[in-house]
Structure 1
Amino acid sequence: MMYWNDHDMSGWGYAWMSVGMLIFWALVIGGIAIAIRFALADRDTTPRSASPSPQELLAQRFARGEIDETEYSTRLAALRAAGAP
């Protein structure tokens, strides 16, 4: 007489299957989370010039307080007299 109960999984088979399923769902959920973060990432799409112009650099220094108003005016006048863009 044949017994058909020899093909059942043991306790370890169920344990490995459970661990495999947890890893599978962790990868699926992690992949979805990464895809959402990538899709919602803040991207700056404004084109940037290679380097700021001399007037922009001067204005930035003035805004940061590195130079005072008289020095800013003097240097700006010198740049304009030299024909800088």
Structure 2
Amino acid sequence: MAWIFFIPTDIPYQKTKKEDPLDILKKRFAEGFITKEEYEESKKILKSDN
């Protein structure tokens, strides 16, 4: 019974990390889905929304 209290909290399937929009943008650029120009423009837009 004691092992129930010692289960690690960051088991990948237990938590879903919500990705930041800028992280998603960086990933899309790195994977080649968008051009540098599209990346820079989108980055400006995302940063101006804050």
CA-atom RMSD, angstroms?
1.8
Could you list the runs of 5+ residues in structure 2 that have no partner in the other structure? 1-9
Distance 1:46 1:69 in 2: 35
TM-score, length-normalised on structure 2? 0.66
Greater helix fraction, Structure 1 or Structure 2: 1
Larger RCO: 1 or 2 (CA < 8 Å, sep 6+)? 2
Kindly name which structure, 1 or 2, has the bigger radius of gyration based on alpha carbons.
1
Q: What residue is the counterpart of 2:27 in the other structure? A: 60
Residue number in structure 2 paired with 1:82: 49
d(CA) in 2 for partners of 1:79 and 1:46? Answer: 31
Q: Give the share of equivalent positions with the same residue, in percent.
A: 28
**Gaps (5+ residues) in structure 1?**
1-44
Q: How high is the TM-score relative to the length of structure 1?
A: 0.40
Q: Where do 4+ consecutive residues of structure 1 move more than 4 Å?
A: 45-49
